[in-house]
Structure 1
C-alpha cells in the first residue's frame, strides 16, 4: 500500500510539472503582436501562480489546477518557496 502511495505521489508531481510546462508554452504562444511584454508571463517570478491561487485554484503539486474550496496550506507554502509569497501577502 505504501508503494502505491509513493507511486501516486510521484505521478502527481510529474503531472504538476507537465501542467506547468503546458502553461508556459501556452503563454509563449500568446505573445502580443505589437512587441509589448506581458509581465505575468515572466518565468520564475511566481506572479502567475499567485494569480491562479487568488482565482481559486490549487497551485500545490498535490492538487494543481483543481478548484479550491478554502485556503490551502500546501499552496501557501509552495508559493512561499517559489517566491510568490510577497505578491500574495501584498493583496
Structure 2
C-alpha cells in the first residue's frame, strides 16, 4: 500500500484508520521511507487524540470535533449571506 502511494516521494500522509496500533505502524514505516514526511491523523476518541498528539507523530484531528467545526462554519457562512429582497 505505501509503495503504491509513492510514500518515499510524498509530501504528506493522511491516516484515518481507527486502530492506533495500525496508525503507529504505518507512520513508522512511512517515516523510515521518507523522514521529512508530514503526517496528518484523524481519530474518533479524545484519549487516542491526546495520546497520538503527545507522541508527536503528526498533526491530530478528532473526527467529532472537526465535524462540528465544519458544520458550524457552514451554518454561519450560510447565515451571513444576504437574503434576497422580495419585491
State the TM-score, normalized to the length of structure 1. Answer: 0.29
Structure with the higher fraction of residues in strand conformation: 2
The two structures have a TM-score, normalised by structure 2, of 0.30
